[in-house]
Structure 1
Amino acid sequence: MDYAHPEYLTETDWLEAHLGDPDLRVIDCTHYLPNYFDESAGRRIEMVSGRSHYEAGHIPGSAFVDLREDLCDRNNPRFMYPMPPAAQFEAVMSRLGVGPGTRVVLYDDMLNLWAARVWWMMRSFGFDGAAVLNGGWKKWVAENRPVSQASSTYPASSFVARTRPERIAKRDEVKAAIGDGATCLLNALDPEEFAGRGPVRYKRPGHIPSSVNVSFLGLLKPDTQIYLDADTLRAQFGHAGATGADRVIAYCGGAIAASSAAFALSLIGVENVALYDGSMTEWAADPSLPLV
């Protein structure tokens, strides 16, 4: 069975053939967490911009967006990557040339995580013309497709946000969902972290009670970083109870891995999905909130 929404993905051959299209905006979203799987992450998770990666080489004509500098709420230091206010998002999208009549392809050099995060933001602010490059930078380079070091910009536009608040879950909604059979709380971290083993990155180990684990690491083919076929994704999410739930709330540590899970769910037609933006960064920091 095919994806319910294949338009949410763009393939590398299509992108190369359409790089010159005047309505196309290609955006490098690369960001890094270089020590995430090291013991040092228990002390501090390093967050590094992908700008130097972009400057060293990128898809020709693409622009760069910095997740931390451009697309995080500067007034919310409690979260790792908090959603920006609408006015800030509008300004960044307008600078990138995103607006009515444009198509956007998002990519990164890190398992499609950051591209999926920006895709979720764009949908949450009412823009439906974005797609994630399947396989991202890794597949593009492996196929010997063109690379540029020239800095690129697009003509400025006028982006107007149409906020969809149902796509972002708050802490109280997550609390109410614990033990609620109609809502699937989906943890997208790796299985070891879900089980509370390894470095304690978010104040306390474990997971939110009644949540299930579908790791972001299991959504892609590791050699090509393309998303798994629709039947395999449906089986994974179905086994976790996500495909039959009235609502899915995805979370992780900082709402990045969960964005990839939410994107994969959207690919297979599960649209009643929200992202818990605070994720474990907020939840584990509050000792009154339960973890198991």
Structure 2
Amino acid sequence: MDYKYIVVGIDGTGSREWMAADGSNSNTFRFIRDVHYGSMEIDRRWYHGPSNTVTGSDTEPILQEALDFIYQRIGSLFPTIRTQSIKPLEMFDVNSCMQNQERSRQNMMEQRGYQQAARVPVQVTSNMLANQPLTTDDVRVVLIGHSRGGLAVTALARMLSPLVRVYFMGLYDSVDRQGCLDGMNVENVKYVAHARRHPDVKSRTYFGNTSLKYIGVDHAEEQFFYTSHGGIGGSFIINRKEVSTFGDSSCLPTITTQTPEGETIELINNPALVKKLGKQMDQVCTDGSHEADQFIRTQAKKYGIPIA
């Protein structure tokens, strides 16, 4: 059976700055590029991740743009869906900040003596999922995300609930670093693969993972890999000169420190893990990054997605 595909990828924070011109250090970009179906910008689309490294606030317009693309593509493939006025969920339904603002507005109106029906977010229900007009036999939606991009595609899958179930979601170390979007629950997805950074690498220890509760998913598989948060997504730093003030130094082969006497000395980075794996951290991260990407691709191939 020849399936139709809609394939969308959203990269991690700051990808405009760290991604190579050919996309070779972005596992998300390379995944979308390597799917052997249709054309880029028509059936397959990749988006840079947010540029706001602190709040990730620009994740929301990226999410909306990706949703609009999928909905427009569905409208082209299945024009009768539009005539039925079946639409995806709105940003309000996945955005806690917008919901809090609505509650504040409602309370203010009630204090002034006005009675108005409060807007409440639409929840994903079994009835909604049972009455989707499209199935994964009609169209296979594939969502791929790294870092905050993983958070975005998790919200995107939920927003597609009235229309169609997402066939496959590949997550490269999805993190919850955007205060308004809640992506802990992965819903409306058939198959999930999540590659996560191993805590022993000590990369971005203050980043909490999200997309960890798989609700109604046929099969979800998580694996941990010995590489940094960036390494899971394909980009990691092994040159000390490239580490910024808030950069990730977990993949450096050596680190510098000072003795009590003020002498600068160089030490092996993460000696316990280096001893365990028998290679320095730059090679650990290189191997782990490749293995994480292969894990996502292998899972996708297992479910019939035409990727190299």
Q: TM-score, normalised by structure 2?
A: 0.29
Could you say which structure has the higher strand fraction? 2
Could you say which structure has the higher helix fraction? 2
* Higher-RCO chain (CA-CA 8 Å, sequence separation at least 6): 1
